[in-house]
Structures are given as C-alpha cells and as structure tokens.
Amino acid sequence: MEYENNNVGLVQWFHINQHREVEKAVEEFEKLGVARIRTNISWADWHLPEGKEWFDWLFATIGKKLEILPCILYTPPSIALKPKSSAPPRNAKDYADFVDTIITRYGEYFEYVELWNEPNNQAEYDFTLDPDWNIFCEMIGSAANWARQRGKKTVLGGMSPIDANWLNEMFRKGLMEHIDVVGVHGFPDVFDYNWEGWQAEISKVREVLNNHQSNAALWITEAGFSTWQKNERKQVKEFINALEAGADRVYWYTLKDLSAELPAVDRFHLDEREYYFGIKNEDNSPKLLYTLLADSGVAGVKQYEWLTQPLQGANADEQYTLITGGAGFVGTNLAERILSSGKPVLIFDNLSRAGVQNNLYWLKERYPDKLLVMVGDIRDKHAVKQAVSGASQIFHFAAQVAVTSSLTNPYHDFEVNALGTLNLLEAIRNSDHKPPVVFTSTNKVYGDLHDLGMSVNETRYFPENKYVAENGIDEERNLDFHSPYGCTKGVADQYILDYARTFGLKSVVFRMSCIYGPHQFGTEDQGWVAHFLIQALKGKPITLYGDGKQVRDILFVEDLVDAFLLAEKHMDRISGNAFNIGGGVGNTVSLLELIDMIKLITGDRPEVKMEEWRSSDQKYYVSNFDKLKAATGWSPATGTMEGIAKLHEWLMENAHISLDKTKKAKSAEKKTTPIF
C-alpha cells in the first residue's frame, strides 16, 4: 500500500499563550513534510480575557503554513448544565453561534470543522447529563447545518471507543444528515483493550454508513500509542497499522509528549500513559517514529516495518554476540567485523540517534543470515533480559553520549547511563550462563585535569607535568567525575568493575578518548572529527568552543575493534580491570590543527566561528594505553593523518553530501596527492 503525506496529519493541542510551542510545532511539521494539523479550539478558553487575542494569533501563525482541522469543544463552565467544560450547554444553540463566530473570523484557514471531541467518552462529553443524547444532537446538528450553509464541511467528533451502536443512534436521531465526515479514534493496547484491529474496527463503521446509504467519509481523527513503557517500535507498528486501516485520512496523536507540569484532560498524573503519546519526547529529543518520518517521510516508513518485530533476523536459538547501542558508529564497525567472521550478532538499540537505522540497513543487506535486530531501550529491564538470554558475549555501548545533553536533561542521562547499565548487569547476574561484558566508559571520569597545569603555543595546550606530557593519562589518575554525563558514565564504570569484584562477573572497562572512522555521522556534541569533516564538505562553518587549542588523542575505529576482540580473548585474565584507550601520545591533535589537516585533504580551509568555553571541557586529554598493551599486546596501527583521510574518503562515498563542481574537483585531486 502506498502512503502519501497529504493523507496524513498530526494532532497537537496547545494551551493559551504557548506561542513558542506553536512556532516550534510548525517548524517540526515542515521538517516532516506534514501539511495538516488537527488542533483544539476551546470554547471555554475563548471567553478568557486573553482568549480572542490568542486565537487570532494561533490561526494566523498556523494557517500560513498548515491546513488546520479545528476541533471545537469544551463548554464555558458559566453557561454549562454543570460548571465544567465537559458538560452540555444550557442552551444547545449557543454552540452553533460559537462555531459561526469561528467560521466568520478564521474561515479562510480551514475547509473542514470538527464538532466536539470523543462525544461518547464521558471525560470529554458528560453524557450522564444528556442520557438520551438529545442536547448533543441539537447542539451538533444546528452547528453542522449552519457550518454547511457557511460553506464548510463538517466532521463528527471522533468516537472513542469506536461504537457502531452509538453511530446508529446518531443516524436514528437525524444528526448525520448534516455530517460530511465521521471521525473515529483508536489507541490499540493502550486504552482500547478489546481492540480487534484497525481494519475490523473501520469495517464496523463502514457497515453502519452503508446501511444508512451515507456518503460520509471516514477519517481516523486521532490514533496513537503511548511509549510510557519505552516501546518505541510498537509506536511505529501502530502508525503503519493506522495508515493501512483503509480510512480516507489519518491524524496521528501527537507531535510531542505532554509536559509533566500539565494535567491530562483535567487529571494530573492520574494515568501516566497519557503523557507519552508524542513522536518526540518532552525534552524535544526524537523517538523512533519521528526519526523515520524525518528521514524517509510518511511514504518511506513502511520500509522499516521489519524493525517493529520483537526480535527479527537469523536463528534466535543460536548464541550470538550482543551489542547494546549497536546501530551506532562504534557498534556498526564491531558488528561488521564479527559478522564477517561468520558469527551471529544481535544489535540491541532504540535507534534514537538520527541516521543509525541506515547502519542497520547496511548490515542487514550484507549479512541477512547472521544479523539479528532488537529495537529496544536499555531502560526497559524486561527487553534487556530477553536480549541477554542468548548472548555468548556482550559489548555495552548503549548510552546518552553528550555532555551538553546531560546538562539540559540530567534525569534522562542518569536513566540511560546509570540505570540502563544496572539493568544489563542484573540481567547478566541473574542469567544461567553469565556472559562476559566489555563496557565503553569515557575519559570524562578523570575530570577537567586543571591540576596538571598547562602551557600553550599558537595551536595547542601542553601539560606542564612531564610524565603526562610524555606518556598521557594512565589508570592511576584519581577519578573525578565532572558534568552529569561524567557522573553517570562514572557510576556505570564503577558498577561494571564492582560486579566483577562482588558477584564474579567477567567484565572489562575501556575509558575511551576520541574515536573516529567510517559510519560516524558526528555532531558538535559528539563525534567531532567526523562533524568537522562533514561541515567542511558541506561548505558550512565549524564552531570551536573556547580557543580551539584543546588537545585529544584520536583513535581510528578499526584499531578500537581490534582492542575489543583482544579484550574478549583475554577476558579470563583481565576481568575486573579498567583500561585507558585512545590513539596515545603518538596520535594527538588540537581542534585548530584538525582544521589545518582538513585543508590539506580537501584543498579548502573551513570557515571557523568561535564561541565561549563549554562546561567541563578538558583543555588536554591524551590516553596512556600501556596497561592495555601489556595485558593484550594491543597498540594502534593507524596514524592520525591516515585515519582522517580514510574517514574523508568514506564520507565522500557514503554520506550523500552535495558538493559543487569545484569542491569535487579539489577532493578528487587530493585523493591522488600523498598526504602521509
């Protein structure tokens, strides 16, 4: 079945004076290529002092960009049978007058008008005050009749639950002669416990329409799935199911999770499910459905349906290597190495980072018989337990990876990095076979290193401590967690080591410096080497925070994969140890020096913008990997310039970056020029 963006809209409710939220929502709709919005027009809010001014602004702001389906609802308590917005009005025709006002004032912005919302849901319309539905039919019927005379088409507020008997009653009472579209709502496995499937539910409504020889269209005016249990793949599956239901139009609920500070339908956290229907989280981070829509549009989501299965791929009875966070840059490279040796791999990932689904696609095409995929969240201990059950060895990469994100949402950072790691350790501890685990920690566990003292020249910082300058930071360095990210990764780091000490689990910690290489689509928050190259290839400026003289040792990802496999090989001997790993003193670069290297490779010096220092940014960090070398024989094989050139070549071939002819010529010329 083909899907088109113009048959799909999103539902987003707004409160008075949420100006910035509206503007952001319009921007998001445009990013997703969705041109239709269903939103609330509260009759009760209209009568507030700022009501008219708010709706003037709302219609003008949204209507310039999107096609609006206004859902007109909520009685002003002062004119209701009881003083609440879900009660019928004392005078049924007052509602028609308000609909007329909305059409007169804002009719240029909409073709259809939706009359009430979920009338057979007592929370939205208190039918105990109107048991025979006479007030409702008079209220909606007069409004629909007048709206049609004003040139508008009418939508009967969506039934929730879908109830063929209720719809028959609306026909019997004569309401439906004024209705152009019947709306239905559905929330499978959330609120609709006796759900028979969209097609079965839709067929019930179509049967009623056919029996009454009605030409009314049938829209799903609200469908959704709550991710309160972290099940984002199920949200994608239900979205696809709604599109395949056979309705003439679908509105998906909703763009963004409800703010934790607001009540849901006048109830404050009575039902937590109501707060997690968004395709984006409250902090604006994307869920899987948003990521797929942004990447492929409505028409392209179907190609990812295979991701929605609980566990798909090769024979799940065969033991596999489990890689949590395995769709990311490091995980993809490790998975490819193991899969190429003929061994099965299970990638466990929530696909929250934009673009990583393409890594899975790449692996799936190359290794269809050995790759298993489980779209799951490390915070979901039941999913983690299932993933661990068949694992022979585990590499734990699932994490919130940016210092900046930890500063804006430390709670999420803690849940993923600390609690997620504990979920994994407990799953291993309680399993029968207790597979070994390699965990990727961070150099941030050593703090800002200000005590080293720094000298500086035109391009980089140098530690005044002679030993550190010659050897780098070793594992004897005191732990000193800085930033929420440093704290949560440090907590995970210590839990991994303590579970080896206390419970006898086999585990190793890698405290990593900066890793780079193929399959890295970096951002300025994480993956800065690739980010710099991508920005340069796109002809966009690169932002340097601080003075650009910060120094890191950088490690090519293939060398890191070698270290992972050696750690597993020597696990019995090295379990319970932490190892610093990076390019070491022989592979260091400052931000400014990387800019110069990019010029050597591409032929152009990127434009650079300077910004203020960021919190907890280290001026200098270089790994001393002597401990790992002594334990396993490992050392990096790829030099800095060689590795950056390899990454540049991979990005040119795989990152779909549009270059003008001049840049293409320069890049092609540089490929033939010896640079290392």
What the block records as the tokens of 101 is 């006002």
- Residue 389 is encoded by which pair of tokens? 């059950």
Short-list 385, 321, 329, 348, CA closest to 568: 321
The residues, ordered by sequence, that sit 6+ positions from 287 with a Cβ below 8 Å of its Cβ are 227, 232, 235, 278, 279, 280, 281, 352
CB–CB of 655/355 below 8 Å? no
Instruction: Find all residues with CB under 8 Å of 212, minimum gap 6, and list them.
Output: 171, 176
- Count of other CB atoms within 10 angstroms of residue 419: 16
Backbone dihedral angles phi then psi of residue 552, each to the nearest 5 degrees: -135, 155
- The alpha-helical segments, DSSP class H, found in 33-133 are 43-46, 51-63, 93-106
d(CA 606, CA 277): 42
Q: Cβ(413)–Cβ(485) under 8 Å? A: yes
Continuous segment of H or E residues that includes residue 42? strand 36-42
User: Can you give the three-state secondary structure of 139-194, one letter per residue?
Assistant: HHHHHHHHHHHCCCEEEEEEECCCCHHHHHHHHHCCHHHHCCEEEEEECECCCECC
> Which of 586, 535, 513 is CA-nearest to residue 330?
513
Residue 27 CA to residue 30 CA, distance in Å, equals 5
Residue 485 is among the residues annotated as catalytic for this protein: yes
Tell me the residue type at 565: L
Q: In sequence order, what DSSP letters do the residues of 291-356 get, joined into one string?
A: HHHHHHHHHHGGGGGGGGSSSEES-TTS-EEEEETTTSHHHHHHHHHHHHTT--EEEEE---STTH
| SS3 call for 563 | helix
Helix residue spans in 504-639 (DSSP H) = 528-538, 557-569, 571-574, 591-602, 626-632
Name the residue among 594, 623, 590, 578 with its Cα closest to residue 443.
623
Catalytic residue among 112, 485, 516, 621: 485
Question: 3-state secondary structure string, 410-426?
Answer: HHHHHHHHHHHHHHHHH
User: CA nearest 522: which of 500, 537, 509, 503?
Assistant: 537
588-590/551-556 β-pairing? antiparallel
> In 627-642, which positions are buried (b, 16+ CB within 10 angstroms) versus exposed (e)?
bbbebbebebebebee
Residues involved in catalysis: 485
